[in-house]
Chains A and B, each alone.
Chain A
Amino acid sequence: DTGVSQDPRHKITKRGQNVTFRCDPISEHNRLYWYRQTLGQGPEFLTYFQNEAQLEKSRLLSDRFSAERPKGSFSTLEIQRTEQGDSAMYLCASSFRGPNTEAFFGQGTRLTVV
């Protein structure tokens, strides 16, 4: 296993379109996180899953955003009716639930809404 994988790496979309990103975590990790990072800022938490259950969502996650993790493996993050303010790097991370909860991040998906 080579780490957390995200697809696509880059996405350019027109305002109003829907986009979907995929994250494949490290296989033995049961926690999966989504973060958003804009230029010059630290990553902001969006949501996290433990196995297939979505346990916490940020207020940043408006009703246009939805995340799933069917069967507790890969996860998808969908943004509907994209807005220019959605332009950011979307980062996925995974970790164990245990004494060492170090999170490993994927390469991210850079979204540009034009």
Chain B
Amino acid sequence: ELKVEQNPLFLSMQEGKNYTIYCNYSTTSDRLYWYRQDPGKSLESLFVLLSNGAVKQEGRLMASLDTKARLSTLHITAAVHDLSATYFCAVDTGNQFYFGTGTSLTVIP
């Protein structure tokens, strides 16, 4: 069965700092998505990565995909409190999305 592992699982960072969340997966796929989830809420789509080398940026977040390494990263630049949430990567196998374990991010003033 496909495994999707994120690290770290928990991340506490100060405002203004940079950090990267990693998503490793165990099967061949060139489609990967990043979602944000606030407590008690549903999943909000952040990035759609559809090919090797894809890089997308939105505000303080940037996502990339290396299909050869089976690795995606979500980079946070100059974190602000509003980014506090849980972030999931999801690998698309064509029939379903396999979600990672999630990274719970807390940005401290």
Q: Specify whether A and B are partners.
A: yes
Q: Are B96 and A45 in contact (CB under 8 A)?
A: yes
Chain B residues in 8 Å Cβ range of A33:
96-97
Asked if B41 and A107 sit within 8 Å, CB to CB, the answer is yes
- Given the interface pairs A42-B101, A42-B102, the reply to whether A106 lies near B42 with Cβ below 8 Å is yes
Main secondary structure on B side of the interface with A: strand
A95 to chain B, nearest CB (A): 9
Collect the chain A residues with CB atoms within 8 Å of residue B94's CB.
101
Question: B25 on the interface (CB 8 Å rule)?
Answer: no
Q: Provide the bound-state CA to CA distance between A101 and B90, in Å.
A: 12
Residues of A39-59 contacting chain B, CB below 8 A: 40-45, 48, 55-56, 58
Cβ contact within 8 Å between A42 and B100: yes
Interface residues of B (CB under 8 A from A): 4, 31, 33, 35, 41-45, 48, 50, 88, 90, 92, 94-102
A-B contact pairs, 29 of them (CB 8 A): A33-B96, A33-B97, A35-B99, A41-B101, A41-B102, A42-B88, A42-B100, A42-B101, A43-B43, A43-B97, A43-B99, A44-B99, A45-B97, A48-B96, A55-B95, A56-B95, A58-B96, A93-B43, A99-B50, A100-B50, A101-B31, A101-B94, A102-B33, A102-B45, A103-B97, A104-B45, A105-B42, A105-B44, A105-B45
**Interface residue ranges, A against B (CB under 8 Å):** 33, 35, 40-45, 48, 55-56, 58, 91, 93, 99-108
